Structure 1
Amino acid sequence: MPLKTVNVGLIQQACGADRNTNLAESINGIRELAEHGAELIVLPELHAHSYFCQLEDPTSFNLAEPIPGPTTDALGAIARELGVVIVASVFERRAAGLYHNTAVVLERDGHIAGTYRKMHIPDHPGYYEKYHFTPGDLGFTPIDTSVGRLGVLASWDQWFPEAARLMALAGADLLLYPTAIGWNPDDEEEERQRQWEAWIIAQRAHAIANGIPVVVCNRVGSEDDPSGQTPGISFWGTSFIVGPQGEWLGTASAEEPATLVAEVDLSRSEEVRQAWPYLRDRRIDAYAGLLKRYLDR
């Protein structure tokens, strides 16, 4: 089988309150990565805004926009100019009172190749996303592009093996996770380390269990809680790319904005799945319990 490689670029970004500044930083990163040969470029979750989900504030809905809309228009123009595929993240206004956390894939010619609406929506201190986002209704459907079939997910989705598996079963060539994750600055150092390691392990496990590469693009930097009731969030960066056996292909700093590009050989998935045939050996006749919330005895 001939090699099928794609140069994947990540923009690990610190985001502030000004949308135009954030979007300009995203575009600068896209240009830099394109100069270094990136063909597929991934941005972090909700990169045009500060992380507004730290509190339940109805004025946050004023940040939402339609798709297509201003952000997709601007990034589509850059995709067309540079000939790259871009995975962006938009606070989508679908209708009055109906909003989604949506990933948008822009093809090399600037058109929207597809969208993914975040399916798993968290709701706990500092991450009040259920207030802001309606759960996705597009399912776990990969998006076909000129660089491959992209299994695009988002942030909290990254903890759910079911989501990764369904994307893989639908033929995704790789999994991509725009994300915004960090820790509470008041947590003990030991607890921070446990959380960070769990996050890394979970993503690498998706790669191994499904035999496909995984791409994770996170925010970085600290953002205050606008209410002043909590110490805010310190996003832990560490954006990374791993291959189909969970092997490291590239990683970014835990503390600084960065761009990262790595060559990903999509053809290796065939070889890896032949050696580790998890899809062959799945007992699909015995998994009915997965459709239940809990198996009460």
Structure 2
Amino acid sequence: MIRIACAQLHLTKDMEENYHKALLYLHKAKLAGAQLVCFPEGQLSEYTPQYAGLPKENIAIALDHPYIKGFCHACRNEGIIGVFSLTLTWDAQIYSTMMVIDETGCIKAIARKNHIVRAPHFYEQDYFTPGDDGFIVVPTSAGNIGLIVCFDRHYPESFRTLALKGADVAITAVANETTEPLEIFQWELRIPAFQNSFYTVMVNRTGREGVMDFCGQSLVAAPDGTLTALAGVEEELLLANMDYEKSKILRNEKQYLSLRRRDMFEL
């Protein structure tokens, strides 16, 4: 049995404040018995893409930034795996990413968002470069963790790819606001959990930021499509237990993956 913690946070323009809040919630997760803690999209800053065409300076950090070193140190000291969602810059580009740091403080993987949208409140193409990593599964002591960065979850292939690569859980860091179709977004996680017989997790921001109201309602869905845990609309640490043996049993019973005929799919 693996206990996961979802840090549903209200974030501000103050990067230092957000950094220390992340460390606090990482510590709370450890005290609550979690082996794994995850954070919402772009957890170190206000959600910049809500505005079109702002200067790009100071919206991202480099891989050698002290905050990343601090997260590595905290994971090692607490003995917990962290799935962080950071806006990173390297090779003169900016990426929306998810980073896995294991309980020894080592960076195990970085996944970059593959699909970059441009729509009201989500002017991401003004800032981010699309990743070309595909969809990554990271072996850890808390299972094989699949990573999906926010908008990438709208493609069913994202979840199926992770399942075929052996993921035990698919974690997606998001920035969902109250005006979006919240019930549909919930089903968007529950249905692939059922179809792939694995756990799915969505961790969101909450509270007012600029022109956006983030809705919270982070969730963990079980391999049968039911809700294991659902957060409210305020800041909180959502906890859930994941039984990977249950996943294996359902996967054998349902046979959705084992009976899949690759030759029938043209795309």
TM exceeding 0.5: yes
Query: What's 1:236 paired with?
Result: 215
Alignment of structure 1 residues 202-213 onto 2, 5 Å: 202-213=188-199
Residues 68-98 of structure 1 show CA distances to partners (whole Å, capped at 9, x for unaligned) of 42332111111011000000011111122x1
Does residue 102 of structure 1 match 2:97?
yes
Does residue 135 of structure 1 match 2:121?
no
Q: Distance in 2 between matches of 1:154 and 1:131?
A: 17
SS at match of 2:62: coil
Query: What's 2:20 paired with?
Result: 24
Query: What's 1:261 paired with?
Result: 239
SS at match of 1:280: coil
The structural deviation recorded for 1:57 is 3.5
Residues 100-156 of structure 1 show CA distances to partners (whole Å, capped at 9, x for unaligned) of 111100010111011111112111011011121111111112011121111011111
Q: 2:31 aligns with which of 24, 35, 38?
A: 35
Q: Percentage identity across aligned positions?
A: 29
Q: Distance in 2 between matches of 1:217 and 1:71?
A: 21
Query: What's 2:264 paired with?
Result: 286
Query: What's 1:82 paired with?
Result: 78
The structural deviation recorded for 1:62 is 2.0
Cα pair 1:52 1:60 within 8 Å, conserved? no
Root-mean-square deviation (Å): 1.2
Query: What's 1:229 paired with?
Result: none
For structure 2, the 5+ residue unaligned runs are none
SS at match of 1:14: coil
The structural deviation recorded for 1:219 is 0.3
Query: What's 2:68 paired with?
Result: 72
Cα pair 2:48 2:59 within 8 Å, conserved? no
Bigger radius of gyration among the two: 1
Which is further off, 59-68 or 172-181?
59-68
Q: Distance in 2 between matches of 1:262 and 1:62?
A: 35
Query: What's 2:117 paired with?
Result: 122
Q: Distance in 2 between matches of 1:56 and 1:144?
A: 37
Q: Distance in 2 between matches of 1:103 and 1:68?
A: 16
Q: Which amino acid is 2:214 matched to?
A: F
Cα pair 1:61 1:132 within 8 Å, conserved? no
Q: Which amino acid is 2:12 matched to?
A: G
The structural deviation recorded for 1:169 is 0.5
Query: What's 1:182 paired with?
Result: 177
Which is further off, 65-74 or 242-251?
65-74
The structural deviation recorded for 1:58 is 4.2
SS at match of 2:257: helix
Q: Distance in 2 between matches of 1:163 and 1:61?
A: 31
Q: 2:162 aligns with which of 159, 167, 181?
A: 167
The structural deviation recorded for 1:59 is 2.4
Q: 1:222 aligns with which of 208, 216, 219?
A: 208
For structure 1, the 5+ residue unaligned runs are 185-191, 225-231, 291-297
Q: Distance in 1 between matches of 2:237 and 2:153?
A: 21
Which is further off, 56-65 or 39-48?
56-65
Cα pair 1:100 1:134 within 8 Å, conserved? yes
SS at match of 2:58: helix
Cα pair 1:9 1:40 within 8 Å, conserved? yes
